[in-house]
Structure 1
């Protein structure tokens, strides 16, 4: 397991910005800026019944499926995160979001090309949990290990719910917060 003591200050904004042709994905670029190697492995793309918070945010009706892209995030070749990104079927079906395989420029680039540019400040929820047996296996953790769960709820600039990403991570997490006018 990669040490969580080598944390750096990260920002969500690069993960919401479409990439230019030939530009690295946000995770690879962030890791490279710290002389590390960031990569990811696609584990699955499937239609699923979404968890309650995903269903509620995406306004999905009972029995309605969503598309999830499940990825294993690696740092220097070692697993540090499981990332599940959920998309409404009406956005994902018929696109590379619903197909197994890498998406050039990443999902955010494809979504922007489809007219779904993410809002500037998505809601992010952070919680701590105990890793499940499957998470322990995928992330190389001991039974009962703690994990951080970051859930990002993203709407389009037009206000349409477009993505929920649930990231289960083993690494340290630092944030900068912006003061909002009341």
Structure 2
């Protein structure tokens, strides 16, 4: 069924000073936002839109490019343009590092995957001692060398996150934290077993476009930004015991926070 006969799309406004390809993108975006085109659903083809609007194929392609740049759609060669899935994971900042999860032997990522019924996996793991960058050194209280743990997280086979944890060597060296598998509950459970009972976390978050390496690592589609999060964990003595530098595919997450009003 064509977009004209289905009534999903309207007509162009010849009196508007907005470029035709932007008007088409506006109509498609509104149809997506209203659920007229659902997640994973194919948009009308170039030929259908050319026939409906009476424009050139290049005009339609420019409209698709806008939507791809916004991360709303993705193109599959030889198949068409499809609505991108909405973020499947909701990160509850007030709950994801709750002690009860560690006591149950679950890391934060596993908790979030369980909540959406997805299969979690960790790959591309690297654990090594290295010189701390100036920023990491400052965050950890002027340490010179750290244990770095790099890993990529996947949900149902899709890469969604890449993270590096930096820990002071006087805490992590020679412990299970330095092993590829730190055991049930992850490194936070091991830190508490070592006497560093966690007190609070501080997070800095910003959105940006990905680097070429991040596009490759996370298999990002064109136009999809990343969420860059840096978290510092503090023990009850006020010492920074870990810095976690995380890059997330922005189309895979919703960041949810509960903030006190007093």
TM-score of the superposed pair, with normalisation by structure 2: 0.60
Structure-to-structure mapping, 1:37-116, within 5 angstroms? 37-61=119-143, 64-116=144-196
- Mind listing any 5+ residue stretches in structure 1 that lack a counterpart? none
Q: How many residues align?
A: 177
Write the deviation string for residues 98-133 of structure 1: whole angstroms up to 9, x where unpaired: 23334332101100000111113x111001223222
Gaps of 5+ in 2: 1-73, 75-83
User: Post-superposition shift, 1:12?
Assistant: 5.0
Q: Do the aligned residues in 2 keep the contact of 1:27 with 1:39 (CA within 8 Å)? A: no
Q: Which stretch shifts more, 49-58 or 68-77? A: 49-58
Pair member with larger Rg: 2
| TM-score, with length taken from structure 1 | 0.84
* Alpha-carbon distance change, 41 to 102 in structure 1, aligned in 2, over 3 angstroms: farther
Equivalent in the alignment of 1:19: 102
- SS of 2:232's partner is strand
RMSD, aligned α-carbons: 2.5
Q: Which moved more, 1:122-131 or 1:48-57?
A: 48-57
What is the CA-CA distance between 1:95 and the residue it aligns to?
0.7
Cα distance between partner residues in 2 of 1:144 and 1:48 = 34
Report the CA distance shift for 1:180/1:113 in structure 2 as closer, same or farther (over 3 A). farther
